[in-house]
Structure 1
Amino acid sequence: MSIMSNAKRALAIAAAVATLFSMAACGSSNAASGKSDSSGAASSGKIEVVASINQWGSVAEDLGGSNVEVTNIMTKTNVEAHDYEPTSQDVAKFGTAKVAVVNGADYDPWATKAAQSTKATLVTAAETAGIKEGDNPHVWFSAKVRSNTADAITAAYQKADPSHKDDYAKLNKEWHAKEDQLESKIKETSAKTEGLPYAATESVAWYLADDLKMTDATPKGYAQASANESEPTPADIKDFQDTLKAGFIKMFVFNSQEANSTTDQITGAAKDANVPIVELAEQMPKQYTNLLDWMSALVDQFAAAAAVK
C-alpha cells in the first residue's frame, strides 16, 4: 500500500468519524422531538453488536445466540482489506452499538477510532494476545487469539446484559468445545506439516502455519517488501521464482485478495515447479457461516498440500 493510499485512508477515517459525531447529534435532536432512531435490536431487547470484519462478527454471533444482533462491516473477499476506506454509514453503525468487535494491530484503524468515539464496549482481538501495531495483523488465524477474543466478547455481553449471564457462559463453553476440536485437528495435522518449508505472497496465514509448526521460507527480500507494503524489486521477484524452481519450497500460500501482476508471476513459477498451492482470502468467504468452519477447511487444505509428493 502506497504512502498516498495511507494518506487517503487517513482522510477517509477522519471524515467518517466526523460524520459519526454529526449523526449522533442528529439522533439527539430527533429524540428531543419525539422521533425514534432506535434499531430493531434495541426495540427487541437484543444487544446491538458491530464487527469490523465478518470473521469476528461470526464469533460474536456464535457467542450471543438469539440475544444479540450483529452487523458486519467488511464481508467481501474482492476488496483489499488494508486499503478499505469506510463510508460515513459504516462508521455510523458504531454509534448505537453496545458492543464493538474490531481486529486491531492497525488492520482496521477506522473501526477502532469509530468505536472509541462511542459508548460501546470495545473488544480488540489483537490486544487480547498482546499483539500490537507493527505486528502481523491477521490474528484470526491464531488459535490463542481466537480463544482470548471469544472470552473477551463473552465478558462484554455479560456486562451489557447481566440478566442473561448464564446463557452467555453456556454459549462460550459450546464455542470453546468447537475451538478445541479445531485445535486437535491442527495438532494432528502438524505431525505431517512440522518443519515443512513454505513460502507466501503475503504473511496472511502466518499464525495458522505457525500453529501447524511449519517453517516460513519466503525469500527475505520479498518478505520484507510485503511486510512493509512496498513493491518487491525485480531481484526479489527473481529470487522467489528461482527458489520455487529449485524445489526447496514444499508449499506455496497465495492470498487471492491481494492478487496483482507481481503475485501472478510468483504463482506462475509455483505452478511451473509443481509446488502445491494453498489459496485463501483475508475475509471469510461467503460459503462459510463461522470462523471455525473456515479455519477447519483451511487446515484440510494445508494437510492436502502437505501430502503431495
Structure 2
Amino acid sequence: MHRITRIAIAALASVGMLASVAACGSSQSTSEKNGTIEVVASVNQWGTVAKTLGGDNVNVTSIINSTNVDAHDYEPTTSDIAKLQKAQVIIVNGAGYDAWAVKAAQTANATIVNAAEVGGVNDGENPHVWFSADVRKAVAQAITEAYEQADAAKKNDFDKMNDQWTAEENNVESKITEVKQKTDGLAYAATESVASYLAEDMGLTDATPSGYARATANESEPTPTDIKQFTDALKAGEIKLLVVNTQEESELTGKITDAAKSVEVPMVELTEQMPEQYDSLTAWMEGLVDAFSQAIA
C-alpha cells in the first residue's frame, strides 16, 4: 500500500508558470483518421477533465477507471502501452502515483501534461493532487494549452470549453467557501491522507496521531501503540471527524472506524479513484464537499 505524507500546496504563480507542459518530440496536429486529438490519461479523474475541455475535438481514453484498481501498483498491459504510444496528448498524475504511466509516456511522440509538476508537487509528496482546487485549475489550463498546440485552428473552441469548465470549478470552490464556515479549524483525522488537499481547502486541521501518520508515510504498518493512540484520541473527543479511504481498508482501519462509531464521531468515506456514478471531476468534488458538510451538520 503506497502511503505518503501530507504537505501544503506549493504557492502557485501565474497561469503561464503553472502550465508546465513537457513536449516529447513533435506529434501530428490531429488524428489522420477523423480529425480528433487522441488523448490518453492514466486515471479517469484527469480523463474526465480532458474530455470536458476537448469535447468532440478529442478522443479520450482513461487507462484506470475503476475504484477496484490501485493506481500505485498497477501493471500496464501491452494494450495500455500501445495506447500511450499512439496518443498525441498524454495526461499523467505524477508525484510517484502512476510511475508506470510516466515511464511509458517518456518514449511516446506526444505532449505530456504531468499534473503534479504543473501543480508544483514533487515525488515523495502527497500525489493525490486532483483533490486540490489550485492544482485542478492549473492542470485544466495546461491541457487546454496542449490542445491548442495540437490543433491551433480550434483555439477558440478550446478557450470556450475551458471557460465552461472553469465555471464548474468555480461552483465547487464556492461550495467549499460556504462549507468552510462550518469546517474551518475543525480537527479531523484520516486512515490515509488521500483527501488532505481537499480538507486543507476546507480549513480542516489534521489531528491524525503523529505515530500513525509517520508509519503510514513510511509505508509501514502502524504499531499497536499507534492504533491505541488513534482510538484513544477518538474516544476522548479530540477528533471531530474521521476520513476513511475505502479503497485501502484493513483490519487495522477497521479498529479505527469501530472506535469512531462507538463514540459517534462522524465519518466521511471516499475513494482514490473517481466512483462510477460521477461523470466529471468537478461533480465528484462537489459530492465530496456535500458529504463533509452533511457529516458535520
If the length of structure 2 is used for normalisation, what is the TM-score? 0.89
Whether 1:257 and 2:242 are equivalent positions in the alignment is no
Instruction: Name the counterpart of 1:54.
Output: 44
1:243-282 correspondence runs (5 A):
243-282=233-272
**Inter-partner Cα distance in structure 2 for 1:54 and 1:278:** 22
Whether 1:297 and 2:291 are equivalent positions in the alignment is no
* 1:55–1:291 Cα contact (<8 Å) kept: yes
CA shift digits 1:237-274 (9 cap, x unpaired): 11111111111111000000111111111111111121
Whether 1:80 and 2:66 are equivalent positions in the alignment is no
Q: Which stretches of structure 1, 4 residues or longer, exceed 3 Å deviation after superposition?
A: none
Instruction: Name the counterpart of 2:229.
Output: 239
* Equivalent of residue 161 in structure 1, options 142, 146, 151: 151
Change (3 A) 1:194 1:201: same
* 2:44–2:273 Cα contact (<8 Å) kept: yes
CA shift digits 1:50-88 (9 cap, x unpaired): 000000000000000000000001111122332222222
Whether 1:141 and 2:128 are equivalent positions in the alignment is no
Whether 1:184 and 2:174 are equivalent positions in the alignment is yes
* 2:74–2:100 Cα contact (<8 Å) kept: no
**Inter-partner Cα distance in structure 2 for 1:219 and 1:248:** 10
Instruction: Name the counterpart of 2:6.
Output: none
User: Which amino acid is the alignment partner of residue 141 of structure 1?
Assistant: F
* Equivalent of residue 131 in structure 1, options 116, 121, 138: 121
User: Which amino acid is the alignment partner of residue 266 of structure 1?
Assistant: I
* 1:41–1:69 Cα contact (<8 Å) kept: no
- CA RMSD, Structure 1 to Structure 2 (Å): 1.3
**Inter-partner Cα distance in structure 1 for 2:68 and 2:227:** 24
CA shift digits 1:131-154 (9 cap, x unpaired): 010110000000000000000000
**Inter-partner Cα distance in structure 2 for 1:42 and 1:214:** 49
**Inter-partner Cα distance in structure 2 for 1:42 and 1:239:** 60
> Unaligned 5+ residue runs, structure 2?
3-29
If the length of structure 1 is used for normalisation, what is the TM-score? 0.85
* Equivalent of residue 225 in structure 1, options 210, 215, 231: 215
**Inter-partner Cα distance in structure 1 for 2:64 and 2:284:** 16
Change (3 A) 1:287 1:128: same
Change (3 A) 1:42 1:269: farther
Q: C-alpha displacement at 1:121, in angstroms?
A: 0.2
Instruction: Name the counterpart of 2:79.
Output: 89
Instruction: Name the counterpart of 2:9.
Output: none
Q: How many residues are matched?
A: 270
> Unaligned 5+ residue runs, structure 1?
3-39
Whether 1:63 and 2:53 are equivalent positions in the alignment is yes
Q: C-alpha displacement at 1:225, in angstroms?
A: 1.2
